[in-house]
Amino acid sequence: MPRVAAIDCGTNSIRLLIADVDTQAGTLADVVRVMTVVRLGQGVDRTGQFAPEALERTLAATDDYAAQCREHGVEAIRFVATSATRDASNRDEFIEGVRERLGVAPEVISGDEEARLSFRGALSALDASRPGPYLVVDLGGGSTELVLGQREPDAAHSMDVGCVRMTERHLHEDPPTVEQIERARADVHAALDQAAAQVPLGQARTLVGLAGSITTVTAKALDLPRYDRDAINGAELDIDDAAQACIELLDASREERAAMPFMHPGRVDVIGAGALVWREVMERVRAEVAAAGGSLGTAVTSEHDILDGIAFSAAERL
């Protein structure tokens, strides 16, 4: 089994997965899986470019990941950059900085490619007894991908809403005001209208949520005494329970969020927006399924996501 490194650089965090991949069986074994909050997308929605301090934080994390790749003897590295990098006018500076440190250039992928990789990663570890079609929702810092399919994506759409983008655009007070929340909700509703024109949400039989905002909402709903990846992965929540956890996170002050034992410090200021987006998505999908004559009462959380999809793709390139 080849040992590969997958790096996912998003708007809020950069993550590394070093894994031994069995491409025949479609499985992988973690060697290293780490996440660093670098907030690369700081201000990008407003300025259209990376802030110098955000680049510095991200490249420092890349230095650390390069050292871990050398230590563990990886055979191939795939570095994928997503929403913030697509939007930044000075992305060449970032791309060259990564190339110097890792020997590979980051691939600035499209929203469609991001959706495909997320779908593959999520399904690689999903309980096979769950019925399809699956609607996979990858809620990031700058964008949210919705992907519908059985074993492969049949339809996908990338929305320009995410926890960092919505926080910077709307949720400025601590806690946010009713007016700010309503403006953010209107933004998400408009994005979901566009998504529904591309992705038949009503066909979903299993709703799967990925990435840090959704896993944190799940930790809140489960009332975990600490962040527990094993407890979160595969958790199936009643949508009403998950929505209530979203409301509580959105309404909490930053001080109250910081005191929650499962909360990563780098998510304290943006988790309210992430929770808002996830609640709106869940409610919209449930309504679309009901309108199509079906029923959807729960959402499944997965700790396997685009990072796993990147690792599989890196192994297949060897």
Domains of the chain listed by start with CATH number: 3-111 (3.30.420.40), 126-302 (3.30.420.150)
Per residue in 123-136, pLDDT (tens digit) is 988 988 899 999 99
Find out whether 212 and 266 touch, Cβ atoms under 8 Å.
Answer: no
Question: In this predicted structure, what is the pLDDT of residue 46?
Answer: 84
Token look-up 């896993």 returns 215
The pLDDT score that the predictor gives to residue 83 is: 64
Positions of the chain with pLDDT lower than 50, given as ranges: none
User: Does the pTM of the predicted model rise above 0.75?
Assistant: yes
Q: How many other C-beta atoms can be found within 10 angstroms of the C-beta atom of residue 175?
A: 17
Residue type, 117: L
Token pair listed for 232: 């979160």
Digit-coded pLDDT (tens) for 80-100: 987 677 778 888 899 999 999
pLDDT of residue 234: 94
